[in-house]
Amino acid sequence: METLKKELNDIINIDDNIKNTILNVFNCWNSCRNNHQVIENINNSDIIFSNNYSINSNLLNYDINIDVNKRTLYIDKCNNLNIKVNDKFNYIIIINSSNVNITILEGLIGGIDIIHCDNIKLTIKFNKINNINYGYSNDCKLILDKNTGLDIYISTSYCVNILFMLIYNNILNKYLTNRSFFSKINYYFIDSNMLLSNINDKDII
């Protein structure tokens, strides 16, 4: 930030309003960047997130600049991962990844985005998720049980074979949705009784 201020002050033909705008944009970007816990280009690994996190039993610490109330878990270009989340994240983003098995056991998570992915198995237990979004993804599985709290909104766009598995009172309901890359955005709603509604193009299997 100080380096940017100095460089802006060295520019003669720029007024203070523009300088402040540039500094504010940079500050917002830097804050977002610092709040990302990034897992990138990791393959064939077991990862556990708790008070700190471990990759294949190697214990690591979160970046000290991360605000725990705004922290985002960002998983990019990964393959063959088993992930367990026992900690709070504001948001989880999985992008350009395949063969990822992620189990969310604790913590309040605002939402999850799964984009340009293949074979992502997402299991949510003892948690509260507001929304889950799938985009341009194939052969993904979402497993929810009765301990999942709040009502959940789900959207899918240009996806193939997104399977919802809803477990309630020992009854398993399966819904296979969006089997065409040419499908539009579809919205689904899962209530606290594990009932699925507002469905477009639904196949129950």
Q: Long-range contacts: 129-133, Cβ < 8 Å, 24+?
A: 129/104, 131/155, 133/157
CA distance 103 to 106: 9
The answer on pLDDT for 28 being more than 80 is: no
pLDDT confidence of residue 171: 84
Instruction: Place 29 in a pLDDT band, splitting at 50, 70 and 90.
Output: very low
CA distance 156 to 162: 8
User: How do residues 93-113 score in pLDDT, each as one tens digit?
Assistant: 999 999 999 998 876 678 899
User: How do residues 154-171 score in pLDDT, each as one tens digit?
Assistant: 888 888 899 999 888 788
**Which CATH number is 39-204 given?**
2.160.20.70
pLDDT confidence of residue 31: 46
The answer on pLDDT for 91 being more than 80 is: yes
Q: In sequence order, which residues have a C-beta less than 8 Å from that of residue 38 and are 6 or more positions away?
A: 74, 76
How many CB atoms are located within 10 Å of the residue 100 CB? 23
pLDDT confidence of residue 96: 95
